[in-house]
Each structure stands twice: as structure tokens, then as C-alpha cells.
Amino acid sequence: GPGCLYLLSSPPADSALPRPRCHQKEQAGAALPPPALALSTARLCQAPHHCQPCVRVRLALHTAGLGSICRLQLDFLVLGTNRASWLQVWRRHPEAAGALWQVQFDCFPVESGRRVLVSLRTIPDRGLSLNRSHLVPAEPAGPELRYAWHPEARAIEVSVPEGPALTVRLCHQLALECEELSTPFPRQALVSGGRSLVLPYEFLLPCLCIEASYLHRDSLRTKLCPFQAQPAAYGSELWASMQFHDYSASSEANMVMVLSARCPLHPTATLCWKESD
């Protein structure tokens, strides 16, 4: 609507952050006394059967008396981790200066049991700073499972204890979600209670994980990533799983390379001379 604030940008790791909903008029029963910053726990569902806890942010701000404001910035910090993120919202129509804004952001993904710090500031800085923290309640434990790694078969055997059946899959853990393995490897499989199943994989990688859930919608999930500290996962297969794209131009005095990888990586590069054999 007119004068709406909307998402400007966020760090690359969280580029999938959803857009905030922005309201110029207060909604019935949802008004906050300005200035206010309110946090609550919600659920973020990226697919019908893939949901995770997240922090919903609501803010109310009267811009009258604050002077010209170009943008608002929300900063997020997950305590106990090195994960920090931010997003900016800006005024679409300058003539809305001095209005009462009610903004709702749905929402910032976070693991259950974690505390998140959120702060609001204006750009340029007008001396306004709102800070809140929120503890996302710990969820009950997910389903139990056991696994055995069979490196010679390039497979992981998943065993389910007696009880309800589980849906299990192998996936690559990215910043916000665990991405399914590509074809022809199975996306997910049903394992009955007291049975086991062997799941093949293409490459042994540090981000290769096992995920299990019950069959009902919005089931709790168990995710194990057993190879993060496995030296074999950082060897030749990690390099074999990558793709290098050379965009260098022969007329330029520099090199441009792009790395595509299945796991989140932060590589460094150096130039060197290749001696003739």
C-alpha cells in the first residue's frame, strides 16, 4: 500500500529471508504503543512438511520528531553461535513522513532453545535504539534412530527402533535448510519400526546429514550430521563435488573464478606459477 516499508536486503547466507508485512494503519487488536519492538515465536514452513521455529518481529514507530529517515535496520544475533543477520526496510513514499508505522516481519529462522537478540535503529542515526531478546522454547526431542556408515558401499544404514514408522532421507545442510540429494539418489524413504534401510550417497561431505521425521504433518525432526568432524569428509571427494567456472578474459590482467559447492564454504585463493615438467 502507499507508504509501505519493505525488505531491502540481507546477508547472502540469509538471502531467503521472507519479506516483512508493512501496515500504515493499525490492525484491530494488533496495535503496539510506539516506539515498540515485540518478539514472539512462530513457525516458518518452506514446504508442506518442512517447518522450523522462527522469531516474529513486530515494531511500531512514530517518525514525527525524528527528522528525515531513509531506512530502518533490524539486527539479529543468535547467542551461542556465530550467526548474525540484518535486514533493512525503507519508505517507498517520502510524503508519508511522520506517520505511525506498524511493521510485522515473518520471520527469522532459529533453532529451538536458542536466545535471539534483536535491535532496531534508524538510518541515518537519529538516536533511537530499541533492543529486545527472545528465547525460543526448546521443542520435545524428535524421533530416535541409529546409523552405520559403510564407506566401501558409499552408503549409510539407518535403523529405526520398534514403534511408529519414520520418513528418512540424506541431505546437504545449507544455511537455512537441508537440501535433498540430486537424482538418482532417493529423496526420502519410509522405514517401518524395528527395520533398517540403506541409503546411498554420491560424495562423502562434511555437510551430509541424516534427517528423520514421523509421518504426520509438521512432525518433529531429528537431524544428525556425523561427518562434520570426520577427516575423510574433507579430502578428495569434497574437491570432486565442486565445480569451478572460469570467467577470466585473456585481455585482462586478472583472473575471475566462481566456485559452486554442495556445502557452505568460505574458500581462499592464491596465485602461483606452474613449473614445466
Q: Which of 72, 80, 90 is nearest to 117 (CA)?
A: 80
The rounded distance, in Å, linking the Cα atoms of 2 and 115 is: 35
Alpha-helical regions (H) of 81-196:
none
Q: Give the CA angle between residues 48, 53, 57 to the nearest 5°.
A: 110
Q: What is the dihedral of CA 142, 232, 173, 168, to 10 degrees?
A: -40
Do the beta carbons of residue 204 and residue 150 sit within 8 Å? no
pLDDT of residue 49: 54
Is omega for the bond preceding 231 within 30 degrees of 0, making it cis? no
pLDDT of residue 24: 45
pLDDT of residue 30: 58
3-class SS of residue 156 = strand
pLDDT of residue 5: 46
Do the beta carbons of residue 128 and residue 74 sit within 8 Å? no
Do the beta carbons of residue 134 and residue 116 sit within 8 Å? yes
The residue extents of the domains of the chain are 5-135, 146-234
pLDDT of residue 16: 46
pLDDT of residue 93: 64
Name residue 237's amino acid.
E
Mind listing the pLDDT tens digit of every residue in the chain (277 residues)?
Answer: 334 444 444 444 444 455 555 544 444 445 777 889 999 999 887 665 567 889 999 988 887 777 777 788 999 999 988 788 888 887 666 545 566 777 888 889 888 899 999 999 988 888 888 999 999 998 777 899 999 999 999 999 999 999 999 999 999 998 778 888 988 888 889 999 999 999 999 999 999 999 999 988 777 889 999 999 889 888 888 888 888 888 887 777 777 888 788 888 777 888 888 787 6
Alpha-helical regions (H) of 146-248:
236-240
- State the fold for domain 5-135: Immunoglobulin-like (2.60.40)
